[in-house]
Structure 1
């Protein structure tokens, strides 16, 4: 460790209290970066700086001389798509992206790179036999979540930051033991709900949390490329195969079928949407692979084994 705080390169993380944010903060602190988290929390942890995700404020000074800015801010999509929630999901992403753009534009020495969250859900619902979506040949879909993703990337593109390289992270479902979808899936699997969800043909694009952190580091510091990147594992798989891995691991004595109507009921009870598990996402990280990025967990079998210590 350097004794002098300012000799550490500075990494600014907006939306850093989320599952992905907590992991990135730990990951980059271990690499000896000084990580400044822009946070809406009332009680401030050390290295956390208050912001509202909408308006310029004293927080904007933190972007000066930062080696990287990453924005993960946005209301969770794990909720019912009511009108109010839809509005909040959209505006939280657009406002934070827009105001960060204003802050970057005012910097004397702006961040060298700005990575902004997006989502692999930007692509169309993929037919079972369709080719996977790459950045160059992906089909953009329709519907609410696609509108959000498209507007989000549009706001990012519109930000004037001529001296800052910009990368949009089209992230898939990230698997970790302490947040995101995996703990829920594990709980369901132990109850016997590790059967195909709906038809089971829908594709799952996923990524181990360690590979997410490594991909962010790679895109921030080991390439000069910009634009949209699919941040997902190279081997997507059908929902039925993903559930089979969980069934094999947890071996519940009873396995319950999960037809679509039951999922709709369950999603309603859990205040979420079935789209999160029924939409087919077949996405591959073509650009990361072309640049030579190596995944620690290229297959779901490896990821599930690591996450459940099989």
Structure 2
């Protein structure tokens, strides 16, 4: 029996590696679209149609993870690159799907939980139905990304938008750096520490994607995050409890701004308040293996180098 094929566009990163492993174990044939060809990776540039488009023919799943990292300074050139990498990859995938005689059954396109505006401490969490969409740069990028996805003419392909929060894993994403800093005393609140963090264990990320694929009635936007967001000071307290550093260094906003400038990044990545809950996933019957951040970190931190 022929194995179902999953196409991972931009799938050579942290999330793509884990999805490939997860779905290989489920019996899928994995094809990655990446910048250079090697092994199971087929070359594409994320902008133009080419021989890679033939891989979509008859695929069971197309999942687009392509997009330039936002871990950089938000000057005009980087803003343009961040936006273009997301919208152009989505547009060209839509063209490829539309040209298929036997298009993919389902197309999942990345977005981000950052589409919602900074959430003040006393406001309710953002759901798919009642979330407060923001108007700052990162939020506008997400809106353009999703708008490009909606424009694709793919009537025979079910489509889902993945508004993914910070994914925690032992071998990529933000957690290894956070843990490294915590070991050296930077397990203190960042800024005033009141900002909300929405997050997701890497295992639950893969399981949620599997669940969405397996339920053909599900489509549209889904928040991919754990059901229990927490404050920045609470998250850092969990790291502190695990590493128990000898000293604690304060992290006021002005110091974070200097550090972000030196490291060529933006403080938004740690100071923006993201309070998001996965209402549609929960209503659809999905059950999280790690609903609390304490349980997630208890599982992950011992595996960090």
User: Which residue of the partner structure matches residue 268 of structure 2?
Assistant: 275
Are 2:92 and 1:99 equivalent residues in the alignment? yes
What is the 5 A alignment of 1:248-267?
Answer: 248-267=241-260
Counterparts of residues 1-310 of structure 1 (less than 5 Å)? 7-41=2-36, 44-309=37-302
Post-superposition shift, 1:82? 1.5
- TM-score after normalising by structure 2: 0.98
Secondary structure class of the residue paired with 2:302:
coil
| Structure 2 Cα separation of the partners of residues 101 and 74 of structure 1 | 15
> Counterparts of 2:216 and 2:275 in 1: how far apart (Å)?
25
Question: For the residues of structure 2 that align with 1:32 and 1:82, how far apart are their CA atoms?
Answer: 43
> RMSD over aligned Cα, in angstroms?
0.9
Worse-superposed segment, 146-155 or 267-276: 267-276
- CA–CA distance in 2 between the matches of 1:18 and 1:46? 15
C-alpha separation between the residues in 1 aligned to 2:79 and 2:62?
26
- Partners of 1:13 and 1:58 lie apart in 2 by 16
- Offset at residue 264 of structure 1 (A): 0.6
In structure 2, list runs of 5 or more residues that go unmatched: none
1:222 is displaced (CA, Å) by: 2.7
2:247 and 2:219 mapped to 1: Cα distance?
Answer: 48
Give the secondary-structure state (helix, strand or coil) at the position aligned to 2:8: strand
Equivalent position SS for 2:173: coil
TM-score if structure 1 supplies the norm length?
Answer: 0.96
1:57 Cα deviation after fit: 0.4
Going from structure 1 to structure 2, the CA distance change for 1:223 and 1:241 (only over 3 Å counts) comes to farther
Q: Residues of 1 paired with 2:145 and 2:124: CA distance? A: 25
Q: Deviations over 1:183-221 (max 9, x none)?
A: 010011001001110010100000000100111111112
Unaligned runs of 5+ in 1: none
Structure 1, residues 64-102: CA drift from partner, whole Å, max 9, x if none?
110110000000001111111110000000000000000
What SS does the aligned partner of 2:288 have? coil
Per the alignment, do residues 257 and 223 of structure 1 end up closer, same or farther by CA in structure 2, a change over 3 Å counting?
Answer: farther
